[in-house]
Structure 1
């Protein structure tokens, strides 16, 4: 799939794989492996931003994948996120979609919401929100209609 298809079809909370179709170099070539890993990986879709047009600048639509958190003792030190333009030359595929009755914890930032957490149910989302205070956070349940539309329109996870 193209980046544009991910932007149009993938729902927040989906796990997305990105790759460039090149083979992974041997481990002894550490710089080449690092470069390859920067163009091949997976992440959870946490944000989709529409295109922007200003008087002196315009940018295409883009989406952000959350690849992981790193820290120690329950304290997150670094959160790794990558933002891809819909014009990216990489290939993408949806690995997993949120299941029915899962609950997204979202926060409004600018023109589009950002996924803060994906919980198994409303109770778990409430507990997470109680432990992590966000002033503009709200809950959104993954509905059967949303999952059904993905299946009917042929957007099932690859």
Structure 2
């Protein structure tokens, strides 16, 4: 599916796979493999930003995937995120949606919220939030209505 469909239909916390459709090159071709890996992968949807129009420029809507954290001893040194415009030529697929009862820890920044953490339940979300202080964080439970609407509208994970 297109990037625009992901922006419109995937809820925050979904795992999204992206691909350019090319076959993975053999590992001995390190430069080709690095190029392929930059256009093929997966991540958790953490932010969706609407289109912006200003007097001097305009930008299309975009979304951000969190691909992973790197560090040692519980300390995150680098957090890898990739952002795509809804005009991207890549193909996207919703691999997994948040389940009913999961709780999103969100932070209000700008025009749209950002996913900080996806917890299995409200107790786990409260524990995570107690250990990670964010001034504008709030909790949002994944409801049966949200999941049911996705099924009715044909937006279930492939």
Give TM class, smaller chain: over 0.9
Mapped partners of 1:28, 1:7: distance in 2? 36
Q: Equivalents in 1 of 2:27, 2:136: separation in Å?
A: 45
Q: Give the alignment's TM-score, normalised by structure 1.
A: 1.00
- Matched with 1:85 is 85
**Secondary structure of 1:4's match?**
helix
Whole-Å separation in 2 of the counterparts to 1:111 and 1:75 = 29
Q: Output the TM-score relative to the length of structure 2.
A: 1.00
Q: Who is 2:55 aligned against? A: 55
Cα distance in 1 for partners of 2:21, 2:102 equals 32
Following superposition, the deviation at residue 140 of structure 1 comes to 0.2
Q: Could you tell me how far 1:113 is from its partner in structure 2?
A: 0.1
Separation in 2, partners of 1:79, 1:109 = 18
Counting only pairs closer than 5 Å after superposition, residues 40-51 of structure 1 correspond to structure 2 as 40-51=40-51
* Cα displacement string for residues 107-155 of structure 1 (whole angstroms, at most 9, x for unaligned residues): 0110000000000000000000000000000000000000001111000
Q: C-alpha distance in 2, partners of 1:26/1:147?
A: 40
Structure 1: 5+ residue runs without aligned partners? none
**How many residues are matched?**
158
Instruction: Note the alpha carbon deviations across 1:30-59, whole angstroms, 9 max, x for none.
Output: 000000000000000000000000001100
Alignment partner, residue 107 of structure 1 = 107
Query: 2:123 is matched with which residue?
Result: 123
RMSD, matched Cα: 0.3
